[in-house]
Amino acid sequence: MLKRDQGGPKGRHLLGPVLLLALCNIGGVTFGASPGKEATGGMNLAQALVLGVVEGITEYLPISSTGHLLLAQRAMGIGGGSQRSQSSEGSGRKEASDAYAICIQGGAILAVLLLYRSRVRAMARGLLGRDPAGLRLALRVALAFMPAALLGVALEARIKEHLFGLWPVVSAWLLGGVVILSFFRSGGEGRGRVARPLEDLSWRGAITVGLIQCVAMWPGVSRSLATILGGLLAGLSLPAAVEFSFLLGVVTLGAATVFDAVKHGQAMVQFFDPTSMAAGFLSAFLSALMAVRWMVGYLERRGLEIFGYYRIGLAVTVAAFSLLGFL
């Protein structure tokens, strides 16, 4: 079961800074840079800290961390900004920034490992033959992971080439917001049925979650949103669907982080300062701890509708600023 958030009302305002940060970035604020200077495409310590906070707050909320990171990078000129050079150096900076947007999620992964260490230990004991329930859950997580693992390797290059941009993200934000509001207003969260606990997730249900997770390869969709809705469709209660989403995220995000770190690690080290990258990782860890605790407590009292409104509002705001030439 999900543990009740002990942070209480303070956590209710976490979404406010996310939107405020996005609006500041859209307005052209280049954190840590000297006024009047153009962004060089690099990343300083202050910018890395900002990216870490954005990642940590948004990774497990159903609002798309990748979309928020791409927006923040674009606004701060990391990776070349909106006027990215077509030279080999510009291409290398884009490769490094896209990879960092994936690898920084390692901090958020550690946060969930810490908060759900009892579940993780149970799964580890299950794999060693010491906990049948833990083994069952570990196998369900593995089943749900497989579809995204197979498609991710096959489509990784095309996704980064065609979908890591502002308008694909804005479109996904808007559509995801509409889906959330439509799903819950229609009673899709499970009114009138018996919602099962996490322990009762079937292998068919796990595969259902895994297939729906593949939709989240489109930046802006949100892996968290896709897997939570998938869990609900598989018959889980909302708390159980959220917890399974967190656990599946450890495996899915962990695999993506390792893959990009190995494949693009040299580019990241070439263009970004290792100290700055480490600071971003740490700030992602700390902010994810707060965000996950808040989300668990919030969802025990309310539903996901607030995230639908947030996504639609952010999509409209970002689209307007882009059309006005601020992005």
The reply to whether 3 falls in a domain is no
Q: Is the pLDDT of residue 29 over 80?
A: no
pLDDT for position 193: 55
- Report helix, strand or coil for 268: helix
The reply to whether 36 falls in a domain is no
The reply to whether 1 falls in a domain is no
Instruction: Tokens for 33, please give them.
Output: 């840079």
From CA 27, how far away is CA 75, in angstroms rounded?
A: 8
pLDDT for position 155: 84
Instruction: Tokens for 258, please give them.
Output: 């390792």
Q: Is the pLDDT of residue 4 over 90?
A: no
Number of CB atoms found within 10 A of residue 130's CB: 11
Distance of alpha carbon 16 from the chain centroid: 17
Residues 189-223: tens digit of each pLDDT: 655 456 789 999 999 999 999 999 999 999 999 99
From CA 145, how far away is CA 124, in angstroms rounded?
A: 17
The reply to whether 211 falls in a domain is yes
Residues 6+ apart with CB under 8 A from 288: 55, 56, 57, 59, 60, 107, 108, 110, 111, 112
- Report helix, strand or coil for 196: strand
Which residue range(s) make up the domain with 71?
Answer: 8-31+41-323
Report the chain's mean pLDDT, rounded to a whole number: 84
Residues 117-158: tens digit of each pLDDT: 999 999 999 999 999 999 999 999 999 999 999 998 888 788
The reply to whether 2 falls in a domain is no
Q: pTM of the predicted model, to two decimals?
A: 0.82
The reply to whether 103 falls in a domain is yes
From CA 221, how far away is CA 94, in angstroms rounded?
A: 21
From CA 233, how far away is CA 160, in angstroms rounded?
A: 29
* Total tally of structural domains belonging to the chain: 1
pLDDT grade for 20, boundaries at 50, 70 and 90: very low
The reply to whether 167 falls in a domain is yes
Instruction: Tokens for 259, please give them.
Output: 């893959």
pLDDT for position 195: 78
3-state helix, strand, coil in the chain (%, to 5): 75, 0, 25
Q: Is the pLDDT of residue 274 over 80?
A: yes
Angle at 231 between CA 226 and CA 235, to 5 degrees: 145
The reply to whether 282 falls in a domain is yes
**Structural contact between residues 272 and 43, judged by C-beta atoms closer than 8 angstroms:** yes
